[in-house]
Chains A and B, each alone.
Chain A
Amino acid sequence: MDDLLREFLTESAEHLDTVDAELVKFEQDPNNQVILRNIFRLVHTIKGTCGFLGLPRLETLAHAAENLMGRFRDGFPVSSASVTLILATLDRLKAILADLEAGGTEPAGSDADLIEALDAMSQMPAEAAAPAPAAAPLVVQALERELKPGEVSLEDLERAFMEAEGPDDLPPLPPLPAIPEAPASVAAATPAPVAPAPVVEKAPESKPVEMTAEAAEAAQKNRTIRVNVETLEHLMTMVSELVLTRNQLLEIARRHEDTSYKVPLQRLSHVTAELQDGVMKTRMQPIGNAWQKLPRVVRDLSSELSKGIELVMVGAETELDRQVLELIKDPLTHMVRNSADHGIESTVERIRAGKPAGGTIRLSAYHEGGTISIEIADDGRGLDLAAIRRKAVDRGIATQADLERMSDSDVAKFIFHAGFSTAAVVTSVSGRGVGMDVVKTNIESIGGMIDIATQRGQGTTFTIKIPLTLAIISALIVESVGQRYAVPQIAVRELVRIEAEGTNRVERINGAPVMRLRERLLPITSLASLMDGDMASASSDAPVSGFVVVAQVGRQRFGILVDEVFHTEEIVVKPMSSKLRHIPLFAGNTILGDGAVVLIVDPNGIARKVGQGVASGDAADQTDEAGEAALDKATLLVFKGGGSFKAVPLSLVTRIEEIDAGKIEWLAGRPLIQYRGKLMPLVPADPAIEIRSQGSQALVVFSDGDRAMGLVVDEIVDIVEDHLDVEIVADRSDLIGSAVLRGRATDIVDVSHFLPLAYDDWARGPRTPKAKNPTLLLVDDSAFFRNLLTPVLKAAGYEVATAASAEDALRLLKSDATISVVVADLEMPGRTGFDLVAAMRKGGGRLGDLPVIALSGQIGPESITKARALSISDLVAKFDRSGLVAALGELNTTPLDQAA
């Protein structure tokens, strides 16, 4: 019985899904008798089997639903309400089945509510006479031919069936295949209490008759069998092995000139290929299987949101790998739901826009090369790209400059950014709710890609491209440090050969390799250094030859430096050993034609690693932060040092000096120079810079109060005003990152690193002892500015606490009573500086009077008024270091004293 029950559960679940889909179809096309018969038969089967298995609750419920459907069959008009009711019943059936599966017994409970409603509906008088024009003749005819004179209406038959309770009385039935038919045969026996024997006898007769219309389908069914998935998987593995062995044989044959091998080998090769094809086919399933639930989803949403939505499905027969199918099922459902929910406008809106009242979602699938393309297109309102752009900037995901360069489809892809869609503004303006990031992640995890085309007012089309199968992929074989690796072809955009000189050469920013590719800086990571587990090392020796595999993962583009590129090969992906699965760099391994085991590089893993080469801690946010810094135009002093271009914000520089190198003095191993009557320590801007002993030496002088420090550089190059677009964040503390300035890759120097090198106590505290050592809270979302300003503020005699957001700031302010002044950036994503101050002022008490200096990129009359209203002590431009120090100085004399 256990086996029976299991089989029943699998089958019923399938049937119910089919009924779901069919019902929705039926609602739209109530005259289609074929669909109706289909539904009827399926529910009937469920009911019958339940009776047989002794599941009374399921049976009565299914029976009530069947009764109503029987009325439909008799011409009872199909209403939306009745379909909804039946759908609700199906849901209940599914719930009971789920419990049954979990517990092994039917759960207790009553379905009286549904049964009553169903009965009430079936009892409703229908204006049409019982025999429906199309269905009745068929049935009647069938019964006449087979049975006694008194032909019976189907409903009577059903009632009879119902009365014929106790299918348990039946003699032992033949095993599984017969079960679905068994109840049908009982139904044929009109008089209720019948001896079992004749019933069974009649079964074979009644079956073909009742199924005349579906004869073809039935025949189809008999040609398919159920096979355990594991069996198929095993078969697949075996074939994969065979393919590998074949490849090895071919490799050997290539080396030996013995022609007698050739012919049988060719034959083997051919057969293997066909076998592989065949086995792959067994793993293939029509994508329609993943779509089965969608009509129901759309219908429910449609009535829930009271807008008309039609779901059109094209290419449901397109086949793809079972494994892939499972993985895309949920993302697809989510996307269709999204289209229905947010993409399609309300009926009123549509009519106003001059569109048909009902929206359409078109789901289509087709093969294209080795991939399958799935399109989800709606004719709704389209994405509000302007709102997305705004939001992207607000949230600091991209800079204005970035956005200008981006195509609309790239901008639209921001909706896949984690957390992006949850933001209230975008959801209400442009829609596309939560979870699109998950969709994208899921699709990318199986090597797929997703693209968006959208037109305001016209609709949105999502195109998903996924590989047909995950088992065999096309891969590029490369070599690094004498070892070969396979790089999945789907991630590879192009190959570039490295030259020692010329355009295709690798440049270095503080050791981090980059390359210019069509006027864009491409970060490069060498496979060798990745495999070393140490991103920073292995970088000193510049590669003069080799290839860069330009890869793209999501929106991240990067180059993988390899020594050699061989060829593309179809490889069978074998999973990594459980002992090695934790290494993010590998997606699996494979055996090449020559028998060597080769590791398959995971582009996703590398992409993450490339991003992590970054300092420490909040690595994931680094690029974002760098992007935010770029919002401001900065004036930078560019100089040469240590073989690369470096830059420092000009606002921090006191002066630029060219000194006589002979005047440099060494004191306790430290270089010093007499400068304006004082001794000034010198610090090289890069370890590679040698302080000259003769000729002239260029210095960048930073000073504060009566202290000064000279940064030794090779040569002052230029002063550049540019968007500070920090593209790569270096992992050395003396650099903030690197940027393209005037087309050159340039390191941005972190001055805060050098100040303590010159004066041990510079960074630590004030040099002029003060009565109190006030603590200052610096609030800025950008790590760039926090790093930049902290040393300046410390030098001005403050203990500095930092916060990256208004929330952090408030928390710190509440917990740390020593904070006596706040310096806050006004432009922050989420809660702005103004919001922060407003919150402080509102809270009253200590925070209510705390002096605040606001930093702002643009100071307009509006912000000044607002600042005044919030009693912000001063408003200082973001790069105005001396202005900030002066403002703090003023605070010290006036409001701070009062507060203290």
Chain B
Amino acid sequence: MQAANTNASETAVSGEHDYVTVFVGDAMFGLAIERVHDVFMPSGVTTVPLAPREIVGLINLRGRVVTALCLRRRLGLPDREPGAACMAIGLEQGSETFALVTDGVGEVLKLGAETCEPVPINLDARWRDLASAVHRLDGRLLVILDITALLAFGEAIAA
């Protein structure tokens, strides 16, 4: 929670920020570009029995074992159709690498404070915990996801 707050203030205070946009269903989300290490097509996922629901499995990403985590499940959305296209974002937290599996990855947007809004209070609690801000874009809204909060689930909550 604390991490979410600092993240929010960070984006609000300093001027422009780059965000990698990702899609899940109809929604568009932004991820701070500094935290994004990779964009790749997940393949050869090894499922981990008994794992938390959010975890899809383990992926070999150029010789590193990364833990793949499904953004849909994390957001409490239904799973995508089997066989539907997906893309993964490589994120690093501590000494570990995670892969965030999304429906697709869009362009990188440079956004300033003028379009930034705090997270509406009527948002679903789950989303509210994961979002740090919302940007008003032309014709649609971009929800900025707090990566630290995104990765804080399951047994061990990363400090």
A577-B49 contact, Cβ under 8 Å, with A582-B155, A589-B58, A597-B44: no
What sequence of 0s and 1s flags, for each residue 44-77 of chain B, a beta carbon within 8 Å of any chain A beta carbon?
1011111110010111100111010100000000
Are B47 and A483 in contact, with the CB atoms below 8 A?
Answer: yes
Is A52 close to B, CB under 8 A? no
Q: Is the CB of B60 within 8 A of A595?
A: yes
Q: Are A580 and B44 in contact (CB under 8 A)?
A: no
Q: Does A245 contact B (CB under 8 A)?
A: yes
* B81 contacts partner chain A, Cβ-Cβ < 8 Å: no
- A sample of 8 inter-chain contacts (CB < 8 A) reads A241-B63, A533-B50, A578-B158, A579-B51, A579-B52, A580-B51, A581-B156, A591-B63
B106 within 8 A of A: no
A244 with B63: in contact, given A531-B49, A532-B49, A585-B50 (CB under 8 Å)? yes
Contact B67 A579 (CB under 8 A): yes
User: In the complex, are the beta carbons of B55 and A580 less than 8 A apart?
Assistant: yes
Cα separation A483 to B49 with both chains bound (whole Å): 10
Contacts of B69 in A (CB 8 A): 579
> Which residue from B50, B63, B96 sits with its C-beta under 8 Å from A578?
B96
Contact call A583/B60, Cβ cutoff below 8 A = no
A574 to chain B, nearest CB (A): 5
| 8 further A-B pairs in the complex, CB-CB below 8 A; given A533-B50, A579-B155 | A241-B63, A483-B47, A574-B65, A577-B96, A579-B67, A580-B55, A580-B154, A583-B48
CA–CA, A577 and B46, complex, Å = 13
Nearest neighbor of A241 in chain B, beta-carbon distance: B63
CB distance from B96 to the nearest CB of A (A): 6
Distance A591 CA – B49 CA, assembled complex (angstroms): 17
Q: Which residues of A contact B44 (CB under 8 A)?
A: 595-597
Known: A241-B63, A577-B67, A578-B96. A531 touches B154 (CB 8 A): no
Kindly report which residue of chain A lies nearest to residue B55, judged by CB atoms: A579
Q: Contacts A583-B48, A583-B50, A591-B65 given; indicate if A597 touches B60 (C-beta within 8 A).
A: yes
Interface of A: prevailing SS: mixed
Name the A residues within 8 Å of B60 (CB-CB): 591, 595-597
Q: Which residues of B contact A361 (CB under 8 A)?
A: none
Q: Is the CB of A596 within 8 A of B46?
A: yes
Given contacts A244-B63, A579-B156, contact A599 B50 (CB under 8 A): no
Interface centre among A578, A579, A580 (most CB of B within 10 A): A579
Given A577-B96, A578-B158, A579-B155, decide whether A597 and B51 contact each other with a Cβ distance below 8 A. no
State in angstroms the CA–CA spacing of A581 and B157 once bound together.
12
Contacts of B52 in A (CB 8 A): 579-580
Query: 10 tightest A-B contacts by CB?
Result: A531-B49, A577-B67, A582-B155, A597-B46, A597-B58, A578-B156, A579-B154, A583-B50, A241-B63, A597-B60
| A598 interface hit (Cβ, 8 Å) | yes
A834 near B: Cβ within 8 Å? Answer: no
* Contacts known (A241-B63, A591-B60, A591-B63); A599 close to B51, Cβ less than 8 A: no
**CB atoms of B46 and A598 under 8 A apart:** yes
Alpha-carbon separation in the docked complex, A580 to B98 (Å)? 12
Which residues A495-532 have CB closer than 8 A to chain B? Answer: 530-532
Residues of A528-581 contacting chain B, CB below 8 A: 530-533, 574, 577-581
Contact with A along B22-49 (1 / 0, CB 8 A): 0000000000000000000000101111
B55 touches A599 (CB 8 A): no
A586 contacts the other chain (CB 8 A): yes
Closest to B97 in A: A577
B127 to chain A, nearest CB (A): 20
Nearest Cβ on chain B to A532's Cβ, whole angstroms: 7
The CA of A578 and the CA of B59, in the complex, are separated in Å by 15
A830 to B58, CA, bound (A): 50
Chain A's nearest CB lies how many Å from the CB of B151?
Answer: 8
CB distance from A473 to the nearest CB of B (A): 16
List A594-615 residues whose CB lies under 8 Å from chain B: 595-599
Q: Which residue of A lies closest to B157 (CB)?
A: A578
Q: How far is A577 from B51 in the complex, measured between Cα atoms in Å?
A: 11
B54 to chain A, nearest CB (A): 8
Known contacts A580-B48, A585-B50; is-contact A245 B58 (Cβ 8 Å): no
In the complex with contacts A578-B96, A595-B60, A533-B49 CB distance below 8 A? yes
- How far, in angstroms, from A346 to B44 measured CA to CA in the complex? 65
Separation of A582 and B153 alpha carbons in the complex (Å): 13
Residues of chain B with a CB closer than 8 A to A599's CB: 46, 48, 58
Contacts of A596 in B (CB 8 A): 44, 46, 60
Find chain B residues with CB under 8 A from A591 CB: 60, 63, 65
> How distant is B137 from chain A, measured CB to nearest CB, in Å?
32
Nearest chain A CB to B43 CB, angstrom units: 10
**Inter-chain contact A579/B50, CB cutoff 8 Å:** no
Q: How close is A588's CB to chain B, nearest CB, in angstroms?
A: 9
Residue ID in chain B nearest A588 by CB atoms: B65
B57 nearest in chain A by CB position: A597
With most chain A CB atoms within 10 A of its CB, the pick from B50, B59, B154, B156 is B50
B50 to chain A, nearest CB (A): 5
Please name all residues of chain A whose beta carbon is closer than 8 Å to the beta carbon of B94 when the two chains form the complex. 578
